[in-house]
Every structure is written in C-alpha cells, then in structure tokens.
Structure 1
Amino acid sequence: MGLKYRNELKFMINYHQYFTIRQRLKALMKRDEHAGPNGEYHIRSLYFDDIGNTALDEKLGGVSDRVKYRIRIYNMEDKVIHFEKKIKKNEYIAKVKESLTRSMVDELLHGNIEILNVPDKPLFAELYDEMKHRLLRPKVIVDYVREPYVCANGNVRITFDKELRSGLSSTDLFDTELGAVRALDENFIILEVKFDEYLPGYIRDALQMEGLQRQSASKYVICRKYIKMNSWEDQ
C-alpha cells in the first residue's frame, strides 16, 4: 500500500484567537475520543537527527521534501509507543510508524541499535542504517498538551498544542522529573489543521480571523533552537 499524504496547515495563535476559534469549532467538530475528561492529552516526543543535523538544517533552509524521526508517547505511559518517520513533500505530509516496547526504548537509549536490525520491518531497517552510517541519535525532547477536534467530512483533524516545553539535558522519555522548560512564550499556541483532499467550507470559515497567517511552526526546530540559545546542546 502506498503512502497516504495529507494536507497540513500550521498557525501560531494567541489566546484571544484560540478562544474564538475553539468556540466556533465546538459546534462543528467532535472531541477526539482519545482526549481525557478535560478534552486534552499529553504528548512527549524524542526527536532524532544525524551527525550533520540534516533535519534541522533542511527545515531552516526551507527544503520542501524532508523527513524527521521521533519516538512518541502519550500521557507519560508506555502502553502505546511508536517510532515514527514523518515525511514532508511540499504542502503534504505522511507518516510511517512501528510499535516499540518499553524495553526496546530503554535499549535504544543505552546505545543498542541492534534491536532495530530487523530486515522484514522496513522502518526499523531504515533507522538501523541511519543510526549505523549517519549516526542518527536522540537530540531533543518535545513536550506539550494537545486539545484535538475531528470531523469525518474531509477526515479533518484540528489541534491546539499548548505549553510547548523542552527537556534541556535529558533524552529520557519517561523521566517524570525531566525539568522541562517552556520553549515558546506562554501566550502562544500552535494551531494545526490536517485534512485529506479538501477542507469543508464551514470549517474553513470558522478558522477565519483577522491577522491569522500560516507559519512554519516546527515544534522540533523551536525546541532545538531554544536549547542552543541556552547552551545546553552538545555540538
């Protein structure tokens, strides 16, 4: 089966815009079933990059076709862990992912890449090759709270990502005392809009606000740049 590419639009919004847009969307979309009682869940990702920081440099350089690798967990639990490859082609994104166990994550973070030497799993085989030959390694933890909404019409998913934080000196995904610090001003929220072939007009109308402009809001880049500014990242 070929890759399923989707549209992805990103915006940096303030709290006034957030409250206005959220109020509109509540009447048009459903809360994601994975959200907790307060309509949110927590995401923590560990991003990887190679010895040349290719993912970071390509994003900063505006390269239209690029990839990022990350391990992602939810609500600080180890029931669902994925190693993901996010593929970007112009305005479209696709994901490839494989499940990991907690023990596999622990092995990886201790430098044992042989657990990925699994030829019949293409993503693992690719990661193994990247780690062996391009020295792909953990670079930064990206931590935030997500408020998601979904709509079957157009397979739309809209998320408000808040409290973006970064772990300054650790790559331990399950560290409850990580000491993550804000990497983005607390007055800003990242709005992401994902859909398949089309975005229904009534949802597009609900997103219209004066001053709302698309931005290249990469949480990975924001956190990497924050760490660099604070001189914690190994060069």
Structure 2
Amino acid sequence: MNNNLNYRHELKFFINYHQYFIIRQRLKDLMEQDKHVGPSGEYHIRSLYFDDINNKALHEKLGGIRDRVKYRIRIYNGQDHVIHFEKKIKFKDYIAKVKEPLTREMYDKLMDGDYDVLRGPDKPLLNEIHNEMKHHLLRPKVIVDYVREPYVYANGNVRITFDKELRTGLHAVNIFDEKVEPVRALDNDLIILEVKYDEYIPAFIRIALQLEGLNRQSASKYVICRKHLKFNTWEDY
C-alpha cells in the first residue's frame, strides 16, 4: 500500500426506488448535501474509461483480482472547465484516487492521438498514463454516464451517493460530442448506492442506512457498461 495516498472504504449496493426514497428521507435529516449540487440536489457525471490492448482492467475486475487500477477522464454537467484524468486504485478492501487536471486543448489533442500532450515535468500521473498509452496501448473504451445525488458528513469523512440513470455511450468515446445519445445500461428501477468513508461510519448513519438488508454488489459502472456494449454490439473481449 502507498502510504502517501488516502485509502478509503467503499461499499456499493443496488437499491430500487422504494428503498431510495426511504433512505434518502432518513439521510436528509442527518447529512449535508454536497456543495457542488445544483437546484435539483444532483449533478451529472460523464466519464471516459480507458483500458489496454488486453482489456486488463476489465478482466481483472471480472476475475476478482483484488489489487487493480482503472484510468478515466471525468467531467461534470457537460462542462469543460473542470476536466480530470483520474486513476482509481483498489487495494484489498480499500480504494484511493489520484487525479490531474486537463485543459480542453489537452483533451482535444489527446483524442486526436497526440499522447505526448500528457508528458511534462511534475506530472507523475500524466506521465504514467502516457507510458501506458505508448507501451500497453491504453485507449478510450466506453463512456459512462449518470446522475449523482450526494450527501456528506464530516466525521469519518463519510460520503453517500445515489447514482441514477446509468447509461453508456456504446461506441462513442468523445465525452463532449453533443450528438452522443447514451443508452440505458441498467434496469430502470435500479439505483447504485455508494457508501465511502475513512475509518468509520457514525452509528446513527449506519442505522439509517440499514446496510445489512441491502443487496451488496461488486460490479463497477465500467464493467456494467462494457458488458452492455458487448451484448448490444457483439464486441469481442
């Protein structure tokens, strides 16, 4: 484990809308809404996930490998003023994330195949990604699209999110392409509940969630969307 990273617990559950309304009502009295939400209490996330020529990230997840990484570019509400290239690290039962900002110009060059735009001093993550692109043919694979309703609580650094309307861009890989019309990748009645925290969850939040009665799941949004792509377009892993 890299001790310089902030490793956190991450639990994921499938819930239906009935469960969502009950849990949300409880949490509203206990937690604050994330400061980045809009008037609806939500924001839109679109990510572009990358994988190498052997689909390593996909196969490691499907194979149950506990220690693994994923790379993605993420934007919010369809805007280009905040663009991050992220590396998500899974170590045993913990997760960590490191990220570097991209400019829209850097993103456009990258999508045109100019991977050298990532090279530069004091940017270890971008240099790492450049090396992955050069030596392992890391490339864009799938767009993952959803609406997030987030709640936070300072003690324990708890973050609880309801991720709704999970969609995939199928073969599209340009997250700023206005012609992209993502399609549903998950049953209309299902929401992904994510619970993230550092060392502990305060007891009153744990009681409100009643996690033991929920359907714990391990499939990532990336895997769900890649599977949807495979089943709808005969993609070969």
**Pairwise TM-score range, normalised by the shorter structure:** over 0.9
Q: 1:134 aligns with which of 136, 156, 159?
A: 136
Q: Report the secondary structure of 1:99's partner residue.
A: strand
TM-superposed CA distance for 1:169, in Å, is: 2.1
1:20 corresponds in structure 2 to 22
TM-superposed CA distance for 1:176, in Å, is: 2.0
TM-superposed CA distance for 1:234, in Å, is: 6.7
1:218 corresponds in structure 2 to 220
Aligned: 1:228 with 2:230: yes
1:58 corresponds in structure 2 to 60
- The CA deviation string for residues 47-83 of structure 1, in whole angstroms up to 9 with x for no partner, is 0000000000000000000000000000000011000
Which stretch shifts more, 205-214 or 184-193? Answer: 205-214
Aligned: 1:47 with 2:49: yes
- The CA deviation string for residues 91-133 of structure 1, in whole angstroms up to 9 with x for no partner, is 1110110000011111111111011122431101100110000
Identity %: 71
Amino acid at match of 1:167: G
CA distance in 1, matches of 2:219, 2:35: 25
CA distance in 1, matches of 2:123, 2:236: 31
2:81 corresponds in structure 1 to 79
TM-superposed CA distance for 1:33, in Å, is: 0.6
Aligned: 1:191 with 2:202: no
2:8 corresponds in structure 1 to 6
CA distance in 1, matches of 2:134, 2:128: 10
Q: 2:146 aligns with which of 136, 144, 151?
A: 144
Amino acid at match of 2:160: I
Number of aligned residue pairs? 235
Contact 1:168 1:233 in 2 (8 A): no
CA distance in 2, matches of 1:211, 1:152: 25
TM-superposed CA distance for 1:232, in Å, is: 5.9
Q: Report the secondary structure of 2:99's partner residue.
A: strand
TM-superposed CA distance for 1:168, in Å, is: 1.3
CA distance in 1, matches of 2:222, 2:211: 26
Which stretch shifts more, 93-102 or 173-182? Answer: 173-182
Amino acid at match of 1:42: H
TM-superposed CA distance for 1:7, in Å, is: 0.6
Q: Report the secondary structure of 2:216's partner residue.
A: coil
Change (3 A) 1:233 1:104: farther
Q: Report the secondary structure of 1:104's partner residue.
A: helix
CA distance in 1, matches of 2:211, 2:7: 27
Amino acid at match of 1:139: K
Aligned: 1:113 with 2:125: no
TM-superposed CA distance for 1:177, in Å, is: 2.2
1:36 corresponds in structure 2 to 38
Aligned: 1:95 with 2:97: yes
Amino acid at match of 2:158: V
Contact 1:169 1:232 in 2 (8 A): no
2:125 corresponds in structure 1 to 123
TM-superposed CA distance for 1:200, in Å, is: 0.6
TM-superposed CA distance for 1:211, in Å, is: 3.9
CA distance in 1, matches of 2:109, 2:175: 13
TM-score by length of 2: 0.96
Q: CA RMSD in A?
A: 1.3
TM-score by length of 1: 0.97
Gap runs ≥5 in structure 1: none
